[in-house]
Chains A and B, each alone.
Chain A
Amino acid sequence: MKIVVCIKQVPDAKDVRLDPVTNTLAREGVQSIMNPYDQHAVEEAVRLKEELGGTVTVLSMGPPQAEDVLRQAISCGADNAVLVSDRAFAGADTWATSYTLAKAVQKIGDFDLILCGKQAIDGDTAQVGPGLAIQLDIPFVTCIQKIREATDKELVMERMMDDGYDVLAAGYPILLTVVKDINNPRVPSLKGKMRAKKTEILVLSAADVGADPAKIGLAGSPTQVVNVFPPPPRGERALLTGSIDEQVEQLVEKLAVYL
């Protein structure tokens, strides 16, 4: 089983705070981490490898420092790591990103299964996984919460829906995006950490993967951010006053329209 896992380095959301006075982002000391959903994708890939044999290749598109998250994935059991990195990728939207990743996957070679996190916590779009599958002309399923059975022929799995879940069966090749319920990612072993330090990371440029310059970065992105502004303030802190009984009474009055 040849598995490719796509991972992204993102700013740690828990460090990002909104300054309540200026309403701007206070990003002092924001750490870069592996996108949390991607950790579950790496873990699932390593589990499938342990069950069925094969290799796990982790792939990231990002600046040179994204090597950190690739090494983290190696320490958790991935075998190989590939970084596609090029200044020409700057400003890529989800279309250009999925195109670039598809070119990189094709460069890596054969695969049976591609795993991605459901979405990245900086953009929250959930669009790159499905886009990558379309670019590679393979089927995809999003929001997998459980792989019930895996053989080298077929997967039986549960995909999360708004009203419950669907049980699905599919063969290979296929791309899956996973939610965090799928597993509990392991802590890297000491041996894994040693290996992560030594592993050579393959770094590929836009030219190396044979990407069409018109389809990458800002030029290849159908969407463009044209304005960024703080969300409208929600108004003043409005604490009720008086005894608890009085406050409850006031609140019920205020909420009368909803009762």
Chain B
Amino acid sequence: MLIVDNDQCTGCGVCEDNCAFGAIEVVDGLAVVAETCTLCGACVDTCEFEALTIEGAEKSVQVDLDSWSGIWVYCEFRGGNLATVALELLGVGRKLADARGVKLVAVLIGSGTGDSADRLIGHGADIVYRADDPVLHFFTDETYGAVLTDLIRREKPEVVLAGATAIGRSFFPGVANALGAGLTADCTQLAIRADDGALLQTRPAFGGNIMATIECPGSRPQMSTVRPNVMKELEFDSTLSGQIIDVKLDPAMLKSKVRVLESVVSENDDVNIQEADILVGGGRGLDSEKGFALIRDLAKSLDGSVSASRAVVDAGWIGYPHQVGQTGKTVAPKLYIACGISGAIQHVAGMQSSETIVAINRDENAPIFNVADFGIVGDLFEVLPKLISKIEEQRKS
């Protein structure tokens, strides 16, 4: 419960301004907490007078935290390929494992995984648990969840990570819930505290307006999904060695009440915008579907992929898988070029982690310029053709 010390509170209202949930109001010179309070703690840090404290209820069940050891990464394998984010997670996982002096373990689930396990070792894994079976060709929450849950129960890792992809964000919540483990979604930073092994999981909250760091103080494993394109993968090193363990699969684990009839891959090969290094995003400023073609041309000139704001997707100029923002995908490419996108907070939340952001917009007051590293104020129909020809010229030379 959030406690206000009425002797310390001056009624300054700083807490009220900092509450994302509208849960504090200054009444008669004192802060009053409403039921909408989520105990996020944002106000506690902003109070100069130390008038606010969160009184936590004691955890009733404490597990023996030290009996859990090892950093695990679920390595997504779909359609015959390892997901790039799997290798990125081995990169950060290696750091965490070294900081704790424990093994880095990869979990590979799928069918026809070929030399993938060796690749995972070359990218830093000490051990690979491989569950390779024709039944696991298609992803289902039940089968993948059962395999991973069983492995975690037997081996007791302290940390388990997955990419914040459609698959990771679907079956990890089920696994964590079954284990009674804490799970933090969409992390963008991970660190480990050396003395007690607490995983410090940082994620954007409230549409990216605030960052929150989350811990799992009394439970193990500590589970996170991590956004693609945020962590750095290690260079493949063929001299690294590791152990591959084939997981014995109990037939009960391979049963699913949900049957996959078909897996349809979108005909556009650039649909997975979270994996793109260069993204060109188009907004309402393109005026029409015809105008939006310029975005495709610019993307093509850069060998990049095409994304869009919600307005464009709602208008039907491009499909939902291309939507960037709070209700679409979160992307963090090396280069993001926003064309005719005003930069509403919901859009910015989905792309602000990009390495370099370029904004092109006719309205110099558009908020997108606040997050841009380079901005051009101008008419898209003049700027984009010139930009495309200049880029093509540059790339030829």
Contacts and interface: CB of A to CB of B under 8 A. Distances in A.
A227 B41 contact: yes
B10 to A, nearest CB: 18
B17 to A, nearest CB: 6
B263 A170 contact: no
B135 interface: no
Given A142-B169, A239-B377, A122 B22 contact: no
Given A218-B56, A225-B39, A140 B208 contact: no
B373 A238 contact: yes
Contacts of A240: 374-376
A20 B17 contact: no
Contacts of B382: 244
A14 B78 CA distance: 36
A111 B237 CA distance: 53
Nearest to B383: A244
Given A25-B210, A127-B183, A166 B264 contact: yes
A87 B38 CA distance: 11
A211 interface: no
B262 A25 contact: no
Nearest to A180: B327
Contacts of A231: 204, 208-211, 352
Contact of A126 (B173, B178, B277): B173
A254 B374 contact: yes
A52 interface: no
Given A127-B185, A162-B166, A244 B376 contact: yes
A127 B33 CA distance: 27
Interface in B354-395: 356-358, 364, 367, 369-378, 382-383, 386-387, 390-391, 394-395
Interface string B255-281: 011111111111000011010011000
Interface stretch (B66-74, B92-100, B108-116, B212-220): B212-220
Could you tell me the dominant secondary structure of chain A's interface residues? mixed
Contacts of B18: 24-25
Cβ-closest 5 pairs across A and B: A222-B182, A91-B39, A63-B35, A219-B57, A223-B182
Interface of B: 1, 17-22, 34-42, 45, 54, 56-61, 78-79, 138-139, 141-142, 165-167, 169-171, 173-174, 176-178, 180-186, 200, 204-219, 256-266, 271-272, 274, 277-278, 302, 320-321, 326-327, 334-335, 344-346, 352, 356-358, 364, 367, 369-378, 382-383, 386-387, 390-391, 394-395
Given A179-B320, A234-B371, 9 more contacts: A16-B206, A25-B19, A95-B176, A127-B177, A139-B257, A222-B216, A225-B40, A239-B376, A259-B302
22 contacts: A13-B206, A13-B207, A17-B345, A24-B17, A24-B18, A63-B35, A130-B177, A143-B170, A161-B167, A163-B78, A163-B79, A164-B263, A169-B259, A170-B257, A174-B258, A223-B182, A230-B211, A238-B375, A245-B386, A247-B376, A251-B358, A255-B374
